[in-house]
């Protein structure tokens, strides 16, 4: 039977080397794993080809690159010194990068790799220096005896309360790899949902930007030339009201642009100040979910996020009251957050979730009905995730419908803006032609 030289890690993350037998490299790797060792390099002794990658059992998980350190890098964790990078202007870690990290770490743990070694492997291959510094910091904390959830809690800008509480629940239940898998799925679904909303908003934003640019060019460069022509040919005769309005707007923008900029800045600052108040946030967020065209789409996305967040937390072992608090704090809409707060208080008094949720009047009847069924059958987390899937599909349908509806509306709007200016400039020309004839 062929013999293989191996390098492996034990349960404490210490490196072990030796020889083993196996019909194939995969059989040798499985033999090592049965002894509590995680193989990181296997080479057949005297064979023509050496298996210089990680054990095949790990490759089938899709983590070949993550689980295959180069021989020169395979050093004892005790001898490894991490290099942390600190940035004075904050941490820059995208949601996509965090989702990838969660997915990879969960896969490595499921394959049998120790947590500390998994963090070191991911840090070594990370290209974002800011995120690499955080991974190294996590590894240092784990090496010092800290829990992963406590280590992550020291980086709240990257790992929010939802993330750290789910990790804490996974550590308490001994199912950290399962929780990481759920977290990764949650983050991937959230990214998909945000992408759908952005896709729905992108087209109108682009068209509105083009409309504003065309309007500014006409008012600054074209309309002033017509103003001089009208003054020379009409000899002080009164202009049509529409023409006067367009000329006044042109003069305001072209000659008093500093005033326009100043008023715009003050208006934006006033909006932000009002938005930061509790009453202002509630008023604006209530209007957002009720506004025409986009309100229904935004409400569906909020329902999908609420149900998926709560379902993911409950399925990971987070207590219901704590899960409601985290869900409320991670909701971006004040109207929905207020409704979740009402549910939290009623559940604290002993009520089920569905009844107070229905009394808020925020969530559709189908949502509360399915949650009620989930409570009665003891499958609330699964039912919440099913509701989230349904509303993800609803968002898809709404995006497709909005795309076909918004396009003609925006075209008519753009034509109306340009047409108004053109008509305003042609009305005096008609009068000039009448005077000349």
Please, are residues 20 and 3 in contact by the beta-carbon 8 Å criterion?
yes
What does residue 111 show for φ and ψ, rounded to 5 degrees? -75, -10
Q: What is the mean pLDDT of residues 382-404?
A: 84
- Give the CA angle between residues 433, 418, 212 to the nearest 5°: 140
Closest CA to 107 of 25, 176, 52, 165: 176
Q: Which of 154, 138, 70 is nearest to 102 (CA)?
A: 138
Over the stretch 339-385, which tens digit does the pLDDT of each residue have?
999 999 999 988 888 889 988 888 888 899 999 999 888 889 889 98
Question: Taking a C-beta distance cutoff of 8 angstroms, is the pair 169, 319 a contact?
Answer: no
- Of 156 and 199, the structure prediction assigns the larger pLDDT to 156
Nearest alpha carbon to residue 312 among 297, 327, 290, 295: 327
Cβ–Cβ < 8 Å for 246, 230: no
In sequence order, which residues have a C-beta less than 8 Å from that of residue 107 and are 6 or more positions away? Answer: 61, 62, 63, 66
Q: Is 179 helix (H, G, I), strand (E, B) or coil?
A: helix
H helices of 276-294, in order, are 278-290
Do residues 131 and 87 lie in contact, with contact meaning Cβ atoms separated by under 8 Å?
no
Question: In this structure, what DSSP letter does residue 35 have?
Answer: T
Q: For the chain, what is the total number of helices (H) and then of strands (E)?
A: 18, 3
pLDDT tens, residue by residue, 103-124: 999 888 888 888 999 899 898 8
pTM over 0.85: no
- The model's confidence at residue 204, banded by pLDDT at 50, 70 and 90, is confident
Dihedral, CA of residue 412, residue 415, residue 421 and residue 425, to nearest 10 = -120
5-59, pLDDT tens digit by residue? 887 766 555 667 888 888 887 788 778 777 777 776 778 887 544 333 333 333 3
State mean pLDDT over 193-205. Answer: 78
Residue 418 has pLDDT above 60, yes or no: yes
Q: Where is 40: in which H helix or E strand?
A: strand 38-44
Compute CA distances 73 → 70, 80, 125, whole Å. Answer: 5, 9, 12
How far apart are the C-alpha atoms of 142 and 266, rounded to whole Å?
49
Q: How confident is the model at residue 176 (pLDDT cuts 50, 70, 90)?
A: confident
**Spatial CB neighbours of 352, under 8 Å, sequence gap ≥ 6:** 372, 375
Residue 5 DSSP code: E
CA distance 143 to 134: 14
pLDDT band at 393 (very low <50, low <70, confident <90, very high): confident
Q: Domain 175-437 maps to which CATH number in 3.20.20.70, 1.20.81.30, 3.40.50.720, 2.60.40.10?
A: 1.20.81.30
Which CATH number is 77-159 given? 1.20.81.30
The token duo for 376 is: 């009665």
Determine the pLDDT at residue 207. Answer: 80
DSSP assignment letter at 43 = E
| Dihedral pair phi/psi, residue 279, rounded to 5° | -65, -40
CB atoms within 10 A of CB 123: 22
pLDDT for position 315: 85
Rounded Cα distance, 162 and 412, in Å: 44
Count of C-beta atoms within a 10 Å radius of residue 37 = 21
Residues 200/347, Cβ–Cβ less than 8 Å: no
What's the CA gap between 40 and 69, in Å, rounded? 7
348-385 b/e (C-beta count within 10 Å ≥ 16 → b): eeeebbbebbbebebbeeebbebbbebeeeeebbebbb
77-159 shares its CATH topology with 175-437: yes
Q: How far apart are CA 211 and CA 221, in angstroms?
A: 15
- Beta-bridged to residue 6, according to DSSP, are 18, 42
Locate the domains of the chain by residue range.
3-71, 77-159, 175-437
């Amino acid at each position: 039977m062929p013999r293989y030289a191996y390098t492996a890690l034990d349960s404490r993350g210490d490196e072990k080397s030796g020889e083993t037998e196996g019909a194939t490299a995969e059989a040798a790797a499985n033999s090592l794993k049965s002894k509590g060792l995680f193989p990181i390099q296997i080479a057949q002794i005297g064979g023509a080809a050496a298996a210089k990658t990680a054990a095949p059992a790990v490759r089938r998980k899709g983590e070949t690159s993550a689980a295959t350190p180069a021989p020169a890098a395979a050093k004892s964790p005790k001898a490894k010194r991490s290099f942390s990078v600190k940035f004075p202007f904050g941490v820059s870690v995208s949601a996509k990068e965090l989702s990838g990290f969660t997915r990879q770490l969960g896969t490595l743990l499921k394959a049998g790799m120790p947590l500390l070694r998994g963090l070191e492997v991911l840090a070594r291959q990370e290209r974002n220096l800011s995120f690499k510094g955080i991974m190294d910091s996590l590894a240092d904390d784990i090496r010092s005896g800290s829990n992963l959830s406590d280590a992550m809690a020291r980086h709240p800008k990257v790992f929010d309360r939802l993330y750290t509480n789910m990790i804490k629940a996974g550590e308490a239940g001994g199912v950290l790899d399962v929780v990481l898998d759920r977290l990764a799925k949650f983050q991937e679904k959230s990214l998909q949902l945000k992408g759908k909303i952005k896709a729905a908003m992108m087209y109108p934003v682009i068209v509105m930007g083009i409309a504003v640019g065309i309007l500014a060019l006409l008012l600054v460069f074209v309309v002033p030339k017509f103003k001089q022509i009208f003054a020379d040919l009409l000899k002080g005769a009164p202009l049509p009201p529409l023409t006067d309005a367009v000329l006044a707007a042109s003069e305001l923008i072209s000659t008093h642009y500093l005033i326009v900029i100043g008023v715009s800045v003050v208006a934006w600052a006033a909006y932000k100040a009002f938005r930061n108040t509790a009453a202002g946030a509630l008023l604006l967020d209530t209007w957002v979910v009720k506004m025409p065209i986009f309100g229904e789409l935004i409400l569906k996305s909020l329902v999908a996020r609420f149900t998926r967040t709560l379902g993911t937390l409950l399925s990971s072992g987070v207590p219901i009251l704590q899960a409601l608090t985290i869900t409320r704090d991670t909701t971006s809409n004040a109207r929905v957050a207020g409704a979740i707060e009402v549910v939290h208080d009623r559940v604290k008094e002993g009520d089920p979730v569905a009844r107070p949720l229905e009394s808020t009047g925020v969530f559709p009847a189908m949502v509360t009905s399915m949650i009620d069924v989930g409570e009665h059958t003891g499958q609330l987390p699964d039912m919440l995730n099913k509701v989230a899937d349904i509303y993800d599909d609803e968002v898809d349908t709404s995006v497709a419908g909005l795309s076909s509806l918004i396009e003609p509306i925006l075209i008519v709007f753009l034509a109306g803006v340009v047409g108004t200016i053109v008509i305003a400039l042609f009305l005096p020309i008609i009068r000039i032609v009448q005077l000349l004839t």
